[in-house]
């Protein structure tokens, strides 16, 4: 029986995979939180991988605190870059399959067209730079890896934009949301299913793939959709990013082109509103 190791088990994506895993009893699933797979301790990580002996690794573990990364550069680099190097070396040596999750923040945001997998990368914050370094080392050490770039992930688990908006819209009469950062959200359940589809597929085509839900929206429009579906009375105002300064710069345009994953794996990519409704009804 193939053993699938999921890192970052308590994160949004890891939690969604955990929920789906019961539908796939043909695999032995190992859901590893920080105590089982320690991405910030590389020597320990090597020992842990040798002990677990997975056949497939789904690397959902990452340092994702975008603003905090500006001051915690070393920690972000260890988890997003150096730990990925350890994983990639391990899978290359042991003929293990690896799906590594990356981000739209590898781009600088100056494009005006949906970004495909060949689009030039140029991160504008520490988080994006460490994730890009992780992508590079991942494919260098193990050209057989699959990397999935995703964006604006939300889920019924953990902290995310959707849950924050729902809370604020119930607490306040009005809120302001940036309207000049464009992309598309990703419902973690949809991404988890896309990853499982690759694992189940007869074919393994390495390289980088993009996955997010369909639609081209700003965070402001995303907030309006949440208001609409939730039936909240809160007033939502669009503001420029300059009115809401954050320690880390965000790309102003990071819409991902999903044609490759659709073509190669026949992956279903639902519209963001469809998935948002699903998630909000579950809450």
CATH number at residue 81: 3.40.50.720
**Domains held by the chain: number:** 1
The pairing of beta strand 217-218 with beta strand 182-183: antiparallel
For residue range 70-107, list pLDDT tens digits in order: 999 999 999 999 999 999 999 999 999 999 999 999 99
CA 13, 14, 15, 16 torsion-angle sign: positive
Residues in the chain: 283
Q: What mean pLDDT is reported for the chain? A: 97
> Does a structural domain hold residue 276?
no
pTM over 0.95: yes
Put the strands of the sheet holding 97-103 in their side by side order. Answer: 28-32, 3-7, 56-59, 97-103, 146-150, 207-210
Task: Tell me if 220 is assigned to some domain.
Answer: no
Residue 232 lies in a domain: no
Chain segment 217-275, per-residue pLDDT in tens: 999 999 999 999 999 999 999 999 999 999 999 999 999 999 999 999 999 999 999 99
Contact 5, 54 (CB under 8 A): yes
Share of the chain above pLDDT 70, in %: 100
Residue 105 lies in a domain: yes
pLDDT band at 61 (very low <50, low <70, confident <90, very high): very high
Query: What tokens were used for 109?
Result: 């945001």
127, 187, 209, 265: the active-site residue:
127
Evaluate whether residue 282 is within a structural domain.
no
Q: What whole-number distance in Å separates Cα of residue 250 and Cα of residue 244?
A: 11
Query: Band of the pLDDT at 283, cuts 50, 70, 90?
Result: confident
Tokens of 49: 């991988």
Residue 239 in any domain: the answer is no
In a domain, 126, yes or no: yes
Is 127 among the catalytic positions? yes
**Is beta strand 174-178 parallel, antiparallel or unpaired with respect to 235-239?**
parallel
Distance separating alpha carbons of residues 85 and 141, to the nearest angstrom: 7
Q: Which domain holds residue 37?
A: 3-160+185-214+255-270
**17 belongs to a structural domain:** yes
């Amino acid at each position: 029986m193939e053993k699938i190791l999921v890192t970052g088990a308590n994160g949004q994506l890891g939690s969604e995979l955990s929920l789906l895993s019961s539908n796939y009893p043909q695999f032995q699933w190992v859901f590893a939180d920080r105590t089982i797979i320690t991405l910030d301790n590389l020597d320990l990580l090597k020992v842990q991988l040798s002990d677990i002996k997975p056949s497939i690794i789904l690397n959902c573990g990452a340092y994702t605190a975008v603003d905090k990364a500006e001051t915690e550069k070393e920690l972000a680099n260890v988890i997003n870059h150096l730990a990925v190097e350890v994983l990639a070396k391990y899978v290359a040596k042991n003929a293990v399959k690896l799906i590594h999750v990356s981000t739209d923040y590898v781009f600088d945001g100056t494009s005006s067209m949906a970004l495909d997998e060949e689009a030039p990368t140029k991160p504008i914050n520490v988080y994006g730079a460490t994730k890009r370094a992780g992508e590079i080392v991942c494919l260098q050490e193990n050209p057989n890896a699959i990397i999935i770039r995703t964006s604006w992930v939300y889920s019924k688990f953990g902290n995310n934009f959707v849950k924050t908006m729902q809370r604020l819209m119930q607490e306040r009469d009005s809120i302001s949301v940036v309207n000049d950062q464009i992309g598309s959200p990703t419902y973690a359940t949809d991404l988890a299913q896309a990853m499982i589809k690759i694992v189940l597929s007869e074919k393994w085509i390495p390289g980088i793939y993009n996955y997010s839900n369909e639609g081209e929206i700003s965070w402001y429009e995303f907030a309006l959709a949440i208001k609409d579906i939730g039936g909240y009375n809160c007033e939502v105002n669009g503001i420029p990013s300059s009115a809401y300064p954050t320690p880390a710069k965000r790309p102003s345009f990071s819409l991902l082109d999903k044609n490759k994953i659709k073509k190669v794996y026949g992956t279903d990519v639902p519209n963001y509103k469809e998935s948002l409704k699903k998630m909000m009804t579950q809450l």
